[in-house]
């Protein structure tokens, strides 16, 4: 097993912190400091110390949940003053966390888990996991701007992002456009920024799909466990073949 993965399973910190602990010399294997996060260890035989105290993996049931997040709830687990957190909607005793985030005013599909490796891979851009959203924007989205969105829009200095526009439906009553699109990157407020740069205002944003996982008809504010088939297919997408 790779050292950083062992440390992650000990639940003494996030993936980033686990790597930092190793690189800063706070981890010892059989009495010797190692600073290599991808060092191979034998989880059954090697003795691993964190600040000179032995640590062992926490054996816990892995949980995989799909939540239909309502607007008004935040994904951050660190904001102690927030009145509405997504975890308030989930009756789970185990410590779980979101795979990626949706901003406060964005609705829809949010995955929650205690599987650090899966969470990291689903969020990592190298795996190019499709994320499908539906956006209601005003004024009507022009054909020329559809091309700009697909070609790429600079949302920050040196940061250009694009979207695959699946469909555009104009609402004559609401005087706006309902846009179904797919992105890979998932940067903070990416979709809102892309439309804002092109002088459109986003009035509603909902995530419908992540990889093979679809929101479908799950009621807003409710959650369910992923099926075995859904989980197996998602793991396969990010190169986790055997659990």
At residue 183, the pLDDT reads 96
Asked if the peptide bond before residue 139 counts as cis, ω within 30 degrees of 0, the response is yes
Structure tokens at 226: 């992923």
Rama region for 152: left / alpha / beta (φ>0; ψ in -120 to 50; rest): left
Residue partners of 97: CB distance under 8 A and separation at least 6: 77, 112, 113, 114, 119
Q: Which residues are catalytic?
A: 103
Write out the two tokens for 234: 């998602």
DSSP bridge partners of 130:
none
Chain segment 152-201, per-residue pLDDT in tens:
999 998 899 999 999 999 999 999 999 999 999 888 899 999 999 999 99
As its CATH architecture, domain 64-126+217-237 has 2-Layer Sandwich (3.30)
Class of domain 3-54: alpha beta
CATH of domain 130-210: 3.30.2350.10
Res 16: pLDDT:
85
Tell me, what's the pLDDT at 243? 52
Spans in the chain with pLDDT lower than 70: 59, 242-243
Round to whole Å and give the CA distance between 153 and 145.
Answer: 10
> How far apart are the C-alpha atoms of 48 and 37, rounded to whole Å?
13
Distance (Å, whole) CA 220 – CA 71: 9
Rounded to an integer, what distance in angstroms lies between the CA atom of residue 180 and that of residue 163?
A: 10
List the chain domain ranges: 3-54, 64-126+217-237, 130-210
Residues in the chain: 243
pLDDT of res. 242:
61
Long-range CB contacts (< 8 A, 24+ apart) of 23-29? 26/50, 26/51, 27/3, 28/52, 29/3
């Amino acid at each position: 097993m790779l050292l950083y993965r062992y440390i992650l399973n000990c639940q003494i910190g996030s993936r980033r912190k686990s790597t930092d602990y190793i690189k800063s010399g706070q981890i010892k294997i059989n009495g010797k400091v190692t600073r290599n996060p991808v060092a191979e260890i034998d989880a059954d035989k090697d003795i691993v110390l964190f600040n000179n105290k032995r640590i062992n993996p926490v054996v816990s049931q892995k949980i995989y949940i799909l939540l239909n997040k309502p607007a008004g709830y935040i994904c951050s687990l660190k904001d102690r003053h927030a009145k509405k957190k997504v975890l308030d909607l989930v009756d789970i005793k185990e410590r779980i966390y979101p795979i990626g985030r949706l901003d406060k005013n964005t609705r829809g599909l949010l995955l929650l888990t205690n599987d650090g490796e899966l969470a990291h891979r689903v969020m990592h851009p190298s795996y190019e996991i499709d994320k499908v959203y539906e956006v209601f924007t005003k004024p009507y989205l022009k054909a020329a701007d559809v091309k700009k969105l697909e070609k790429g829009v600079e949302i920050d200095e040196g940061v250009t992002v694009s979207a695959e526009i699946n469909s555009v439906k104009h609402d004559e009553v609401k005087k706006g456009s309902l846009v179904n699109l797919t992105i890979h990157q998932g940067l903070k407020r990416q979709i809102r920024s892309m439309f804002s740069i092109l002088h459109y205002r986003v009035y509603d944003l909902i995530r419908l799909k992540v990889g093979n996982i679809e929101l479908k008809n799950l009621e807003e504010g409710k959650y369910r466990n992923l099926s075995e088939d859904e989980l197996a297919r998602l793991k396969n997408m990010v190169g986790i073949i055997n659990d």
